[in-house]
Amino acid sequence: MDMGRRGRWIAWIGVLVTVAVCGYPRLRQVGVSPAWFRLSGPQGPLQFKDLPMHLSTEHAETLALKALTWLVGQEDLLPVFLGSSGASERDVRDRAGDPEFLGSVLDFLLMDEAWVIAFCDTCAVPYAQPMQARAALPGGAQVHWT
């Protein structure tokens, strides 16, 4: 997939996530034109099911590192993470490259929608990406009990 086509896919994902999370009025507020909804792919109009919904492990780790960086910058939230995870500040430094630890960072972030929104807004990340990144890291498979 060339970069131009990939860029269009990424833009579409952002638009669809914004619609799903914030609704159409939010799109108008941030200046997205209704022309976005007339985009089409080589086989006709793009559908939500046609969009890639998974991230590579490398991209997931990068996103989790961004989340860790954001978390460390939150003076009120970092102690909550350390207390709930049992990690120390040294563990944060030593295990920042460990995919399992990065998964725990995303698990913590995903516990509260307000944290996800604050992180995504600060880092210009689509709202669905933290969950997609968590699924790409070790232990991220969703368990279905039925």
Taking the C-alpha atoms of residue 14 and residue 6, their distance in angstroms, rounded to an integer, is 12
**Residue 31 belongs to a domain:** yes
User: Would the CA dihedral through 97, 99, 100, 106 be positive or negative?
Assistant: positive
Q: Whole-prediction pTM value?
A: 0.62
Q: Which helix (H) or strand (E) holds 111?
A: none
Pair 86, 118 in one domain? yes
- The count of structural domains within the chain is 2
Pair 66, 127 in one domain? yes
Tokens at residue 95, please? Answer: 């295990």
User: Would the CA dihedral through 111, 117, 119, 123 be positive or negative?
Assistant: positive
**Residue 145 belongs to a domain:** no
Domain end (from 14, 30, 50): 50
**141 phi-psi bin (left φ>0, alpha ψ -120 to 50, beta other):** beta
Pair 18, 62 in one domain? no
pLDDT one-digit tens code per residue, 66-91 = 999 999 999 999 999 999 999 999 99
Pair 123, 68 in one domain? yes
- Domain ranges, residue 118: 57-136
**Residue 110 belongs to a domain:** yes
Estimate the share of the chain in helix, then strand, then coil, as percent rounded to the nearest 5: 65, 5, 30
**Residue 144 belongs to a domain:** no
**Residue 79 belongs to a domain:** yes
User: Would the CA dihedral through 98, 91, 101, 117 be positive or negative?
Assistant: negative
**Residue 28 belongs to a domain:** yes
Q: What residues have CB less than 8 Å from 63, skipping those under 6 apart?
A: 55, 106, 125, 129, 130, 133
Pair 65, 36 in one domain? no
pLDDT one-digit tens code per residue, 95-140 = 999 999 999 999 999 999 999 999 999 999 999 999 999 999 988 7
Tokens at residue 144, please? Answer: 């279905």
**Residue 68 belongs to a domain:** yes
Pair 21, 84 in one domain? no
Pair 34, 102 in one domain? no
**Confidence band, pLDDT 50/70/90 cuts, at residue 7:** low
